[in-house]
Copies of this chain bind each other. A is one copy, B any other.
């Protein structure tokens, strides 16, 4: 690789001028800029961008912390984020954190290491939780699941309202024993969905039965195991609400193995509307989330923070809708 001295020689200027042109092109004359740029190309010179960026204090990199890369809901969020980052001339660096706090902190530190300009966190854990209240926090946007300390701008779904709407939909079909296969026990998102489920029951005058609630981890296998428990009950539910589509697809396999039919013997709903939800048999009734919009909006807001522009709103709530497909039916009167 050629060096800056060769560029200076070819351009007929000093090394300092080449350096200034690369760092702050606006501060040199247009004809100098042109001479230097031509020489850079001619010499095949790659400026040490790190040295340049070290001075400008900007990297052009955004970090997004993803709890589960294998979850296709997040894949859609990423796809939207990537499109927005690219349109704005930023590089999006994805970090597979498996939802582990120490890994999230480690990746978020890229900002302190001046290797990224800002962070998007998709989970309710504050990777800068140890920073004292007086500390200057880096640009960060929190999307999907909300961190409760109020430090950051957020983009979220009203999970309580969505879970309530979906439960009410099942109640309207005549179901009163509705099993709930939850995500992890303590995540805010899953607690909100549980609250929505309970609120719908309460408003319909149906007693909450904690036997009808079990916990999973949003995987296919968790749905399979959750359904096993539900189907083993003496008085089994006539409908199952799984807190994501992957678990619903796992439950579907188990229900069929038991020789039961969906929706004739048991109705089944998921959450997210991942592409696979329309390809299982029967296709799933579910809550459609604007997954790509989560990513797009998060990147747009983060760039505003980085570029010190005012945010139109600090807390954005995106809309949901119920997508009814073949996995739900009115309760058969026996």
Contacts and interface: CB of A to CB of B under 8 A. Distances in A.
Interface stretch (A20-28, A102-110, A118-126): A102-110
A144 to B, nearest CB: 16
Contact of A279 (B46, B61, B112, B249): B249
Contacts of A112: 46, 49
A184 interface: no
B1 A135 contact: yes
Interface string A78-107: 110010001000011111101000010011
A14 interface: no
A128 to B, nearest CB: 11
A317 interface: no
B72 A76 contact: no
A91 B132 CA distance: 26
A113 interface: yes
Nearest to A59: B115
B96 A82 contact: yes
A304 interface: no
A326 to B, nearest CB: 12
Between A93, A136, A224, the greatest number of chain B beta carbons within 10 A of the residue's beta carbon is seen for: A93
Given A49-B112, A92-B96, A253-B279, 11 more contacts: A44-B135, A50-B50, A51-B54, A51-B114, A69-B75, A69-B78, A69-B79, A70-B79, A91-B107, A224-B279, A253-B281
Interface of A: 1, 44, 46, 48-51, 53-54, 59, 61, 69-70, 72, 75-76, 78-79, 82, 86, 91-96, 98, 103, 106-107, 109-110, 112-115, 132, 135-136, 219-220, 224, 249-250, 252-253, 256, 275-276, 279-281
19 contacts: A46-B112, A48-B114, A49-B109, A49-B113, A50-B115, A51-B54, A59-B115, A69-B69, A79-B96, A91-B95, A94-B94, A94-B96, A115-B115, A220-B275, A220-B276, A220-B279, A224-B279, A249-B279, A250-B279
